Every structure is written in structure tokens, then in C-alpha cells.
Amino acid sequence: MKKLITLTLAGAVMLTGAAELVRDGKPVATLELGSMPDSAAVKDLQYHFKKLCGAELPVGEKKAPTRIVLKKFDGDGFRLCVKGPNVTICGENGIYEFLRRLGCDWVMPGELGEVIPSVKTLSIPDMDITERPSFAVRSPWLSGNARIFPGTEKADFEVWKRRMKLTGRDTHPLVMLGGHVWGIIIKNNQKEFDANPEMYALVRQLDGSLKRQGLQLETTHPRVIELFCEYIRDQFRKNKWPKDKLVCIGVGPSDGGGYSVSKESMDASADRIDPISGYHDITDLQILLINRIFDRIGKEYPNLYLGFYLYGCHADYPARYKIHPRTVIVIADISYSRLHSTLEPVSTRAYYKQILDQWAKEPVPKFFRGYNWNLAEHFLPYSKLKMWADDLPLYHKMGVLGVYNESIAASATLAPSNYYEATLLWNVNADMKATLAHFCRKAYGDGAAPMEKYWLMLTDRQSKAQEQAGSFHSFPLMYDQKFVADSLRLIDEAEKAAGLPAEKERIRLARFPVVQLGDFLELRRRMNDFKFAEAEKIFIGMQKEKEALFKTGKGVVASGASRMMTRFLQSPLEKSRFYSSAPYRIVFPFPDRLKTIFDPYSQGEKLGLMNPEMADDDLVTTRTYESTWARQGLINLPNGSVWYRIRTPPIQEKAVGLLIPGADNVVRVWCNGKYIGMGSGFMKPMPFDLTGTLSDKQENLIAIQVERRGNSEIGTGGIILPAFLFTGPRLPERAPAIDSSYRLLPGGAIEKIKK
């Protein structure tokens, strides 16, 4: 018989005696629904009993030795009472606590995540437990629509949530309806905005000019305030809500940048800079918008709350305006390091902590809407264990009512982090190491010890790293092939020790991201050595492996795993290989370390920073493709420009091009003082034609200005991938075409610009 688990949770009172449930492989308990309706949780109870002993519990039999009675529970929580032959389960969450105490668990979504022992004899000791959750809303949700899931990922995730005592978002009336709303206001009133463009945000363009455009608004415009009021009234009408309904409606900005720099907006703001993006902070403008809406309709709707994401350039604590008591904030933390917790002082989260401390003093409703993965990177080893251990108790202490994190189905990478997040949402005092040890015992059986060591080693390495660049940019600086080898040794040891096929399979899944890390480090090494064809072969192999696992439809690898590599690396690799292979060849590879001038106001052209005659012997040197801005202490230079001055030997070839495979994110090039052209796009390859501008008798000066505009990625800047001069057939254009109909979103995503 499997060892009976009798773990006592907080609030348990252990009594003498026990209730017999299974004898000689057959149930000896009967099930009575009582006041609990026949629900998915009740059916799940029968499903588990059939797995436990081969048969469902008989329903309503009077002569059974043990009675299991299911009852309703008042509110969100449960009571589990076992006294002699009577088992009373109050609340659906109590069903899953009951199953846990019979040895069941759910270490990841799907059948592979089910841990259900096979028993011949089973009983449960006397106990009386009543628990309520730490957070009212416990609702991680899978990102993406059903079309991007090839299998049962979404359904499996919903079942897993129920088993882990998680909820939907509707468990609290003040969960914000809508998030990025300004674009909806424009869409609903498109003709009026087109006829009155002064209601659009005034946005500075790449050439320095100003233009009225969406998706952001001129929130100081009186008519814009009226349109928000009409939008809110329309929500009440459409939903047939009474005017005194308790509800929170979102009125926050569209995603990304492009906020108004008009005199009206600047005069109404707090006149400060967001230190993460380098742009004007609009938190006060958002608070002012909410206050003005309440001035108009606050009395009409006495229980209306208005909310917005505390995020991006509206992520601070207001400096100028008083916060209306019916304001709701939804904290979203992706602008800060995604590798560290808020209590670790090695990153930009030190600033984030200051903001949270101020909001903690405000008695307004608060929610947290984060991510369960490393945004803009879905496939490398990653741990949120330390982050959840520090951050969720911090949010709970500051009064956060609920958590609804956007999530991806990637159990190969995130299984222990997701399990611990769910555990903390129920019991915010759950210890990280104890929970991980429990997870590993359940998931890996006799392979638990080396797997626990691996997960702790990964968590510790990430926590102590000084890196904070987002996406995959920090990984070559955090990890090396020795870490990969040490991790694989532990994982192989665990697989050998594990006894059950399911345990071995879970261990093999954890192996996959580590193998990918080894391949990724080798890809970047060969890319940095200008061996682009070799790097591209590794890229193709990695993509095939991820796509094969994704297509199984079991939620072990996310849809974005291959998509993010495609977005950020496929085109740079293809262009680099193309312009370095016949009929082209490299004539001058750029070194990693380049002479650098910082130009915070992007006025370097007026200062002549492109002129060959300018002395540059004593200029500072920064690294480009083998490091990040964050690693070099440049994370506080998110805006403005950086200039690189590269001197080359005489170039004999007639047709010469320059390829910049990836930069952040607007590039302008001069050759020997002559302007060549401009390219735009985060991690977008940009070829420039230098033909006729290079000397074949003396050294040449190539000046490159890289301006960081918009929200690209944390801790990046300047040239990111290896650049080089090449010769071959002449390029048809001096500079790459610029598509100004798109704008950059956080993490490097792009979005079509509306008028």
C-alpha cells in the first residue's frame, strides 16, 4: 500500500480514529451529495476514486461503513471534518483537500500531471479543518485564443486550476472590466476623432515632427472626457446594470507608447520622467482623467470604480493629484527586471518597491496582473520560485485583493513555479523550499532529490545574477556550458532513479529547456564568431524540436517558444548568412568593443559627431553584441541616442554594404561624414549601401547613431548583434525602407498604428 499522507495544514485539529474508505481494492464508503450540487468537482472526486481503487464511490447506499457527505460552504474556502465513520466535505475546494490527504496531487495540467496512487486499502484519520484563501481572486489564465492551441492545453489548464483551488476572475466585483481602453474610445467614435484630430495624442515622429495620431488620446480635451462618460453609460445600458451596481470599468491607456507631448498634456502632468522608459510619466494624467470623469458622473453611479494598469509610463505613484477613493489599480510589473524578485536590490525592482510602498498606504482596491513566464522568451530554463516567494506575500501585505496572471502552457519549464504560485495564492505563507520539496517528491518519485537540487541551483543562479536585460538577452551572461552540463547530470541521475514511467517522463520534459539552453549558447557563440551559416543550422534544429513538442498539444511547450525565436533571430540570422556567403563576403567584421559617445537628447548630428576629423582616441568604449546595456550599467539611459565611431582600414572593393543585424532601435549611418540613411526596428536587420563613400587609400570613419525610441526591451540599447561590412552585388537602395505604419510595444512586439 502506498504510504498514507496525513499532512496537517494550518487550522487542522487532529482527532483520534479514522474513516475507512477502501478495503481489498473496493470502496467501502458511500457518497451523499447533501447540499452540494452535482458539479465538475463531484465528478472529479469519482474520477479519482476510480483511479485509486478501480471503482467509483457508490451513491446513497445506507449500509456502507463510511459516509462521505458533501455540503455547501459559505464563501470561498472549505471545511473537511473526519470523525469516525463520517466524512463531511463542505465546499468544492474541500473535495481537493480531501483528495490531497489521500495521496493525490496535480503537479502540472493534463493527465501527465496527475499523481493518483493505486491502493488496496485506504483510510483517512480524524481531523477538522477549516480554511479560507489568502487572495479572493486566484486566476492565472492562458494567453492566446483557442486557434493557437493544437490540443487540450486550455481544457487541461482549467481542470488543473480547479484542482489547485484557483478561481475565475469573477470572484470579486471590482475586478477591472477592460484594460487598455483608449483605443476602444477611438474605435467607437472614429468619425468624430477624424473630424477633430486635436482629440488624438500629439506624437513626435522619427524625423522630429509632431503629428496627431492614435492609439493614445489627448486626455485634457473636454470632449474626450465626455466620450469616456458616454462609454461608461453605454456599459451600464448594454449590460442592463442598475446605476448602483458595484463594478470597476477600466479607463487606462492603450498598450505601448505614443503619449501626447502637447502643451496641454505637459502643463497638466507632474513634469517628471519615467526612469525605466525615459519618457514623460503620465501617471498623474491618468489620475486626473479618472478624477474628471468622477466629477461628471460619480454621483450618477455611486458604486462605480474606475481602474487602470499601473504599468509602463503610468506605473508610478501620483505626485500632483489626489487619488479618488474609487480608483482601482491593477499592478503589472513587466517594465522591471523579470529575473529578480522585488525584494532583491540588484535590479530596477528597487524603484518598483518604492512605488509599491507608496500605494500600500492608499486604501483603494488593488489587484496584480503579472506573467508566469519570462516575457518575450518562452523556452529557456527559468524559475519564478524566488519571485513568487518574495512578491506574492508583499502584494498580500499591501492589500492586493487578487491575482490574475497572464500565463503560458509550458510545463517543461514552468511546472514547479506554477505549482508554487497556486499554492501561495491559497496560502500566502507557504514556504518555497518546503513546497518545492513536496512538488519534487510527487512529480519525480525517487528522482526527487537531484531534481530538487537542479531547481534550487537554477533559482539561485538566476536570483544572484546581476543581469536584468529582458527576453533572451541576459542568458549568455548568466549561464555557460558548465551550468548546462551540471544540470543535465542531475536530471539524468533523477531519471535513472525514478521508478514510474510518468515520473521519468516529467523528468525528461524538464531536460528539454536545459538542452535548448546549451544549443542557444552555442548559437550565440557561433553568431558572435561571424559563423552565421553554422548558427542558422542550430537555430533550425532548435525550432524543429520546440515545434514538435508543441504539436503534441499537451501544454509542455508554449506556442510562443518558436514564435519568439522567429521574431527576434530568424531574420537577423538569414540576412547575416546571406550577406556573408557567396556572392557576398565579409570585408570588415565590427569588433564587439566600439568607441562610444552618449547623446541623451539625440542632438549629436548638430554637434558633428559623425565628422571624421573629430578626435576619438580617448572616447569611452562599450560592448555591443557580447554584452548588454544593463550589464554595463547603462540601464538608466533608456532614451536618447548612442553613437559609435568605427575606423576601418582602406577598402579596395567597389561595391560595399553595411549590415546591422539587430539594434535598439532607430539607426542612422554616416560614412566619412556623408549621410547614408536611416533604418528602424527592434532586432530588425538593416542593410546600408556604402558604395562610393569609402576610401581605398586611407582609413574610413563609419559613424552610427542608434536612437532608442519606444518600449523595446528591458536593459537593451545600441547595436545588439554582430555588424559587418560586406562586398558583392551592389544593394538596390542606400538604406532599408521604413514602415511607419507600425509602432513598438513592450517586449519588441509591433502593432498597426491607427489614425
The CATH code of the domain that includes 709 is 2.60.120.260
Average pLDDT over residues 185-203: 96
Measured between alpha carbons, how far is 395 from 400 in angstroms, rounded to an integer?
5
Report H helices in 27-101: 40-53, 92-100
Task: Give residue-wise pLDDT tens across range 99-119.
Answer: 999 999 999 999 999 999 999
**Would you place residue 11 in the very low, low, confident or very high pLDDT band (cuts 50, 70, 90)?**
very low
Classify residue 324: in a domain, yes or no.
no
> The cell 499532512 sits on which residue?
7
Q: Measure the N-to-C terminal CA separation of the chain; round to a whole number of Å.
A: 69
Classify residue 30: in a domain, yes or no.
yes
What pLDDT does residue 8 have? 32
Q: How far is CA 417 from the centre of its chain?
A: 13
Across all residues in the chain, what is the average pLDDT?
Answer: 94
* Inter-CA distances, 335 with 134, 313, 468, 702, Å: 26, 9, 11, 33
Same-domain pairing of 540 and 555: yes
Classify residue 315: in a domain, yes or no.
no
DSSP for 680-694 reads E-TT--EEEE-TTSS
Same-domain pairing of 160 and 102: no
Classify residue 318: in a domain, yes or no.
no
Q: Which residues pair with 675 in a beta bridge?
A: 670
For the chain, how many residues are written? 755
Classify residue 704: in a domain, yes or no.
yes
What pLDDT does residue 745 have? 62
Measured between alpha carbons, how far is 143 from 135 in angstroms, rounded to an integer?
21
Same-domain pairing of 651 and 719: yes
What pLDDT does residue 490 have? 98
pTM exceeds 0.85 for this model: yes
Classify residue 309: in a domain, yes or no.
no
Same-domain pairing of 347 and 466: yes
Measured between alpha carbons, how far is 748 from 416 in angstroms, rounded to an integer?
28
Strands 26-27 and 13-23, sheet pairing: antiparallel
- Show Cβ contacts of residue 730 under 8 Å, excluding neighbours closer than 6 positions: 655, 657, 689, 691
Average pLDDT over residues 58-70: 89
CB 468 within 8 A of CB 351: no
Does the structure show a pLDDT above 70 at 643?
yes
CB 18 within 8 A of CB 126: yes
Q: CATH number for the domain including 128?
A: 3.30.379.10
Task: Give residue-wise pLDDT tens across range 215-258.
Answer: 999 999 999 999 999 999 999 999 999 999 999 999 999 988 89
Classify residue 6: in a domain, yes or no.
no
For 564, the grid coordinates are 519568439
CB 255 within 8 A of CB 746: yes
Strands 640-648 and 593-599, sheet pairing: antiparallel
Average pLDDT over residues 546-554: 93
Does the structure show a pLDDT above 70 at 754?
no
Helix (H) or strand (E) holding 440: helix 432-444
DSSP-based three-state secondary structure for 469: coil
Same-domain pairing of 467 and 387: yes
Does the structure show a pLDDT above 60 at 336?
yes
Same-domain pairing of 520 and 607: no
Query: Which of 151-155, 163-167, 591-595 has the lowest average pLDDT?
Result: 151-155
Same-domain pairing of 43 and 153: no
Does the structure show a pLDDT above 70 at 362?
yes
What pLDDT does residue 244 have? 98
Same-domain pairing of 22 and 102: yes
Backbone angles phi, psi at 390, to 5 degrees: -90, -45
Same-domain pairing of 423 and 347: yes
Q: Which amino acid is at 395?
A: Y
Measured between alpha carbons, how far is 48 from 113 in angstroms, rounded to an integer?
13
Does the structure show a pLDDT above 70 at 752?
no
Same-domain pairing of 438 and 531: yes
Tell me the longest C-alpha to C-alpha distance in the chain. 104
Same-domain pairing of 217 and 155: no
Number of domains within the chain:
4
Of 224, 180, 229, whose CA–CA distance to 202 is shortest? Answer: 224
Measured between alpha carbons, how far is 708 from 668 in angstroms, rounded to an integer?
12
Query: Based on C-alpha coordinates, what's the Rg of the chain?
Result: 29
> The cell 519615467 sits on which residue?
274
Measured between alpha carbons, how far is 254 from 154 in angstroms, rounded to an integer?
27
Give all strands (DSSP E) within 33-94, no chain letters.
66-71, 78-83, 86-90
Task: Give residue-wise pLDDT tens across range 400-415.
Answer: 999 999 999 999 999 9
The secondary structure of residue 289, as a DSSP letter, is H
CB 523 within 8 A of CB 542: yes
What pLDDT does residue 355 have? 97
CB 624 within 8 A of CB 720: yes
Classify residue 321: in a domain, yes or no.
no
Same-domain pairing of 128 and 115: yes
Among the three residues 258, 288, 303, which one is the final residue of a domain in this structure? Answer: 303
Per the structure, the complete domain to which residue 263 belongs is given by 177-303
Among the three residues 562, 579, 596, which one is the final residue of a domain in this structure? Answer: 579
Among the three residues 303, 322, 353, which one is the final residue of a domain in this structure? Answer: 303
**Would you place residue 277 in the very low, low, confident or very high pLDDT band (cuts 50, 70, 90)?**
confident
For 677, the grid coordinates are 540613411
Q: Which residues pair with 200 in a beta bridge?
A: 217
**Would you place residue 144 in the very low, low, confident or very high pLDDT band (cuts 50, 70, 90)?**
confident
Does the structure show a pLDDT above 70 at 561?
yes
